[in-house]
A = this chain, B = another copy of it.
Amino acid sequence: MRENTAQSSALPVAPTRGRLRPLGLDEVRITGGFWARCRHINATATLGHCRDWMERVGWTGNFRAAAEGRIHRDRRGREFADSEHYKLLEAMAWEAGGGTPLDADIAALTDVIAPAQEPDGYLNTAFGRPGQQPRYSDLEWGHELYCHGFLIQAGVAQARSRGEGELAKIARRAADHVCATFGPGGIEAVCGHPEIESALVELARLTGEQRYLDQAALFVERRGHGTLADIEFGRAYYQDDLPVRDATVLRGHAVRALYLAAGAVDVAVETGDDALLAAVVRQWEAAVARRTYLTGGMGSHHRDESFGDDFVLPPDRAYSETCAGVASVMLSWRLLLATGEPRFADLAERTLFNVVATSPSEDGRSFFYANTLHRRRRGTVPAANVDSPRAESSLRAPWFAVSCCPTNVARTLAVLPAYLATADDHGIQLHQYADAEITTSLAGGHGVALRVGTDYPSGGSVTVRIGRSPDHPWTLSLRVPAWTEGATAWLVDPDGERRAVAPGTASVTRVFRPGDEIRLDLPMAPRWIGADPRIDATRGTAAVQRGPLVYCAESVDLPDGHDVDAVRVDPSAEPEDGPDDTVVVPGEVAPPGEPGDAAWPYRPLGHVAAPAARHTGIVLVPYHSWANRGPSTMRVWLPTTEADSTGTGR
C-alpha cells in the first residue's frame, strides 16, 4: 500500500495508507439528481426530526438527568439511547457549513451532553451512577463502548469538518478513559457491540496518537476468545466465537459483524497487517456470494438480527436491517480504499440505492428499520407520536424504541459525496455517479477540477467535463458497474472515440484540456434477474433490475385492488421502460385463490387447477420508492407463469 498524503481534512474516513486516497467533503460536491434530493431532505427534514424525537421521548433529557443526579429514576429509552445523539451530531457536523444554523444546533446539543461526562472521561447515562448498574457490569448488552465509539466518531467529525471544538474534546476524554480502562492491565474484554474499534482508529488518524490505534487493535485481537458470555444466540451473535483473522464468513448479528469488519480493516490498514485485511476480504466475499439479498441487504433473521446460514435468504420477512446496509457501505468503502477493487464500489452502490435510500420516506420523517423483500399484508399506519416496534410495520415509522437506523441514515447521507471519487498517484477514480463537482490536486500539487453530469440512475449516460487539468498526462478511471454484465457499456473519449468497456474499470490516460468530455454510456434496459437455486424461496421467480435499482411490484399499481400475490410474470418476454422510472413487465394478474379457499394447503401432485388469468402489463416501481403511497403489499421476486404451469410449481 502507498502512504496517503491527505489534502483535505474533511475526510469521513482517513486512512494513512491504501491503494486509493479518499477525497474530502470540501473536494466533492453533489450538485443535483437523486442523491442531491436525498441529501436535501436529510439536511432540511431528517436532522431536525431526529433531534425533536429524542427530546420528545426523553432520551436527550437523560443527559440533563445524569448531570443533575436524578438519572437513576428518570432515565428513558434503551441502554444505547445516548448513541443516537452522537450519530446525529456526526451527521450535523458533516452537513453543516460554516456559520449555518446547524452549527448552533451542534453547540446546543453538545452543551446538553457535556455536563454528563464524568471527571475521568466516562460518559454513559445508563450505568455507573448511584442507583444504577455499575460501569461495565454488562459488557454483553450494555453498549457502553459502543456509545463511546459513536461519541468519538462525532468528535472526529467535528474536528475534521470545522476544527477541534468542545465535542472533540469530550470525545478525546472519553477515548482516554477507554484506553485507561481496557488497555494493558485493565479489563480484558470487549464490548458486546463492536463500533469502538473504527472510532479509535479514526481518532488515532486525527491526532496521530498511537495508543488509540493500539487500543483498537487490542479490541480486534481480543474478540473471538469467549470473553463474553455464551448467550442463547451463541457467541457468534457478537462475533466472540472465532478470532477475526480465523473467521471465513460474516456471521451473527449483521450490524455487529459489519462494524467489527470495518474496524478490523481500519486496524489492518494502519498497522500494515495484510493477513488481517485478507481475512476480512475473505469474509466479505463469502457473505456477498451466499448471504446477501439482491438489494445488497444483509442479515435474514428477525430473531437475532443475524446472518443466516448460506443461501437462507427468503424474501418473506427479509430482515435486511437499514443499519446493516449502512455498515456494509462503511465496510465496502474501507475495502475499496485499501485495495482499489471496483467490486467493493459495486456492492456499495447496490446497497446505497436499495437499502440506505429505501429506509427514509419521501419526506425524510419516517424510516424502515427492516427492509423486507416481500410484504404480504397491508399493515397499519404507525403511530405518529409513539415509538414503533422496529420490524413490524408495513410502512415507515417516525421513530422506534430501538432507533439506530434514522441517525445512521442521516450520517451516511451527510458523507455521501465522499464516496463518489478517489485519487491516486496516477489520477482520479469515479466510483459512484451523480451530478457533482470535484476539485483536488494530483501528485505534485497539480490542481484538477471535474464536473460530472448525469441523470443516473434514471439515465445511464455519465459525462465528465474537465475544468482544470495539469498539462501532463494523467488517468481518469470510471467504474463500469458489475450489473452491466451481459450487456454492453461504452466509453467515449474526448476525441469522440467510442469503445465497449467491460465490468470493472474503464480508463482514459492523456493530457486533458479544459472542456474535454469523457462519457460513459451504461446499458439501462430493465432486465430479468434469477437467483441461485439454493435460495429456496426464489425458485420459480424472477426479479427486475434496471441499472443499479432493484424493482418491485406494489399493490397500489395493480388493477382491481389485487394484492401482489396475484401477480405472475412471463420472463420469456423482456421488461420495458414505463413512465416515471417505472418498468412494465408482461404477466398475469389473477388471484391464486382467496384466503380460506382450501382447508389444507398441500395436495397430491396434479390435483390443482391453474387459476384463470389474463395477460397484461404489470407496472413495477423502484424498490426504494415503495410504501410511499399508503399501506400496500409488495414483492421483489415475482413468480413466473412458467413455474405455475409446471406440475410442481403450482
Contacts and interface: CB of A to CB of B under 8 A. Distances in A.
10 contacts: A289-B596, A310-B377, A485-B603, A528-B648, A533-B592, A533-B650, A540-B643, A540-B648, A640-B648, A646-B646
A533 B644 contact: yes
A69 interface: no
Interface in A293-338: 294, 301-303, 308-312, 314-317
A643 B537 CA distance: 13
A234 to B, nearest CB: 6
- Please state the number of chain copies in the assembly: 2
Given A376-B312, A377-B309, A646-B646, A485 B601 contact: no
Given A376-B311, A649-B539, A593 B532 contact: yes
A327 B485 CA distance: 52
A532 B316 contact: no
The 5 A-B residue pairs with the shortest CB-CB distance in the complex, in nearest-first order: A532-B601, A537-B537, A302-B303, A303-B303, A539-B540
Contacts of A605: 527-530, 542, 571
Interface in A628-650: 637, 639-640, 642-644, 646-650
B571 A647 contact: yes
A212 B399 CA distance: 45
A530 B603 contact: yes
A500 interface: no
- The size class of the interface chain A forms with chain B is 35 or more
Interface string A540-551: 111100000000
Interface string A577-610: 0000000000000001101111111111111100
A546 B370 CA distance: 40
Interface string A421-463: 0000000000000000000000000000000000000000000
B232 A401 contact: yes
Contacts of A532: 592-593, 598, 601-602, 650
A565 interface: yes
A648 B541 contact: yes
A100 interface: no
Contact of A530 (B286, B639, B648): B648
Contacts of A303: 301-303
A643 B647 CA distance: 9
A539 B639 contact: yes
A213 B592 CA distance: 44
A516 interface: no
Contacts of A646: 540, 640, 642-643, 646
Contacts of A72: none
Contacts of A309: 376-377
A543 to B, nearest CB: 8
Nearest to A286: B596
Interface string A216-254: 000000000000000011100000000000000000000
A592 B316 contact: no
A388 to B, nearest CB: 10
A248 to B, nearest CB: 9
B374 A592 contact: no
A534 B643 contact: no
Interface in A540-574: 540-543, 565, 571-572
A454 to B, nearest CB: 23
A649 B309 CA distance: 21
Contacts of A292: 600-601
Contact of A542 (B232, B538, B599, B648): B648
Contacts of A600: 288-289, 292, 482
Nearest to A386: B230
A365 interface: no
Given A601-B290, A603-B530, A317 B308 contact: yes
A492 interface: no
Contacts of A608: 530
A258 B517 CA distance: 69
A596 B285 contact: yes
A286 B302 CA distance: 24
A565 to B, nearest CB: 6
A389 interface: yes
A390 interface: yes
A536 interface: yes
A343 B600 CA distance: 10
